Amino acid sequence: MTGLSKEGHETASYEPLENHGWALGIARTIHQTLAPGPRLDVLNRRSVEYISESLNTFALGKKPKAVSMYKWITHEVLLATTEGIYAGKFVKARDLVQKSYERYFLDQGHRHPDTPPFTKERTLFEEERGLSTTDMAKMETATSIGILANTLPATFWLVYHIVSDPEVLEDCRTELFSAVKESDDGNTYEVDMTCIKTSCPILFSTFQEVFRFRGTGVSARMMMDDFLLDNTYLLKKGNIVLIPAAVQHGLPSAWGDNVHEFYHKRFIREQGGAKSKRHNPVAFRGFGGGSTLCPGRHFAATEILAFASLIIMRFNIRPVQGYWPTPTVENANAAISIQTPDHDIDVEIEPQNEKRWVVTFSGSDKPMDIAAEDIEEREDKKNVGDIH
């Protein structure tokens, strides 16, 4: 897929299963720079600030604007993502992207002081291992596909499922306004992104339901030993097992009789007695799991939630045709992990007021319980803390 040169392929294939090899080294760099904490903060803040300012510009004039919803949302999020990752050194157009990346590296863009750790540490690792500028550009092209391919349609679906259902819209709006403060002069609204991520369970549940309901990813596992599954299927050691997320996401035993419906409160714990009840976390595989767990899930979640939050608080969105159609997904791209709509939806977007909106983070970004592994890690840390 990357089209590396022979020398580049040899470099990237070096000792793939060893800690000092390329594959584990680059994976380690990616996971470290995308883990919740100061390094991820740089990415999150820059991309969210871009979203906020872009929507401020879009809202000028307080007049309805007609847009194609999918095209507009994905364009806005693409710009915000690349702004966060490349510190304003935006690269565009698939046919030109490799040459744009080559120029980016030749101009030392990856060494710029404003370049986030995710980009700087990863590309310096490649450079130190002897990868040529051309091969680095090819690797970056593949990386950008991985970064954008699922985030763009996921943002569309979250906004769509909220604004197309009055009940979901009202629930999320009511919850979100607890994270908003008005300035003393009354001209600016300040939105605390940290509060949104930690104190808006309905919005977060809706976000997860998008990945359950629209997810099409496939996890791969290698059999370490022979295993008899359900006393029927013998899985032989050394073989690869493919696990479609849609199978787990469509199990009535895991999600209830309404499994084939979009239910925005599905991931909210049901309160009952001393303990609260929740679904089995392992049943949700919207971001993969195990060794193939998406390392960028916290960055993607912050960006998607920020965009959706600002949209539903700031604007009223109406379908031009007078009703919300249900987009078909028969021609969705099978190469990505979330459905894409077959057709766009023409909408009118109208600002609710002319006030300026700014986004803040009241604290360093904390992990969200996005995947089962996040819940397990949080509970392990809590248990260690209890012991000490």
Banded pLDDT at 17 (limits 50, 70, 90): low
Q: What is the distance between the alpha carbons of residues 359 and 365, in angstroms, rounded to a whole number?
A: 14
pLDDT, greater one: 333 or 318: 318
Q: Residue 368: what residue type?
A: M
Annotated binding site: 294
Q: What is the largest CA-CA distance in the chain?
A: 70
pLDDT tens by residue, 173-205: 999 998 999 988 888 999 999 999 989 999 999
Which pLDDT does position 240 carry in this prediction?
Answer: 93
Query: Hey, CA dihedral for 262, 255, 196, 48, is it positive or negative?
Result: negative
Answer yes or no: is pLDDT of 237 > 70.
yes
Give the pLDDT confidence score for residue 88 in this predicted structure: 60
CATH superfamily of the domain spanning 6-217+250-387? Cytochrome P450 (1.10.630.10)
Work out the pLDDT band at 9, boundaries 50, 70, 90.
Answer: confident
Q: How far is CA 362 from CA 13, 42, 45, 194, in A?
A: 43, 14, 11, 6
Q: What pLDDT was estimated at residue 94?
A: 45
Q: Which residues contact 299 (CB under 8 A, 6 or more apart)?
A: 34, 40, 43, 44, 47, 84, 118
Residue set of the binding site for heme: 294
208-224 residue pLDDT tens: 999 999 999 998 888 99
Amino acid at site 162:
I
- Residue ranges per structural domain of the chain: 6-217+250-387
Instruction: Report yes or no: 66 and 348 within 8 Å, Cβ to Cβ.
Output: yes
pLDDT above 80 (res 274): no
Across the chain, mean pLDDT equals 89
Given a cut of 70, is residue 1 above it in pLDDT?
no
For residue 93, the model assigns a pLDDT of 47
Whole-number pLDDT of residue 117 = 93
The amino acid occupying position 205 is: S
State the pLDDT confidence band at 273, using cuts at 50, 70 and 90. very low
- 277 falls in which pLDDT band (50, 70, 90)? low
Q: Is the separation of the CB atoms in 50 and 83 below 8 Å?
A: yes
pLDDT digit string, tens, across residues 149-170: 999 999 999 999 999 999 999 9
Q: Residue 364: what pLDDT?
A: 65
Q: Look at residue 255 in the predicted model and tell me its pLDDT.
A: 96
Residue 2: pLDDT band (50, 70, 90) is: low
> Bridge-partner residues for 270, per DSSP?
277
Choice between 302 and 100, residue whose per-residue pLDDT is larger: 302
Give the C-alpha separation, 316 to 65, whole Å. 11
Highest mean pLDDT among 125-129, 205-209, 381-385: 205-209
Cα–Cα distance measured from residue 279 to residue 266, given in angstroms and rounded to the nearest whole number: 8
Q: Which residue has the higher pLDDT, 52 or 384?
A: 52
366 or 116: which carries more pLDDT confidence?
Answer: 116
- pLDDT bucket at 145, cuts 50 / 70 / 90: confident
pLDDT at 384: 60
Length, in residues, of the chain: 388
Among residues 242, 222, 226, 223, the alpha carbon closest in space to that of 234 is found at: 226
Distance of CA 354 to the CA centre of its chain: 29
Query: pLDDT over 90 for what percent of the chain?
Result: 59
As a three-state string, the secondary structure of the chain is CCCCCHHHHHHHCCCCCCCCCHHHHHHHHHHHHHCCCHHHHHHHHHHHHHHHHHHHHHCCCCCCEEEEHHHHHHHHHHHHHHHHHHCCCCCCCHHHHHHHHHHHHHCCHHHCCCCCHHHHHHHHHHHHCCCCHHHHHHHHHHHHHHHHCCHHHHHHHHHHHHHCCHHHHHHHHHHHHHHEEECCCCCEEEEEHHHHHHHCHHHHHHHHHHHHHHECCEEEEECCCCEEECCCEEECCCCEEEEEHHHHHCCHHHHCCCCCCCCCCCCCCEEECCEEECCCHHHCCECECHHHCCCCHHHHHHHHHHHHHHHHHHEEEEECCCCCCCCCCCCCCCCCCECCCCCCCEEEEEECCCCEEEEECCCCCCCCCCCHHHHHHHHHHHHHHHHC
Question: Can you tell me which residue has the tokens 């490799």?
Answer: 98
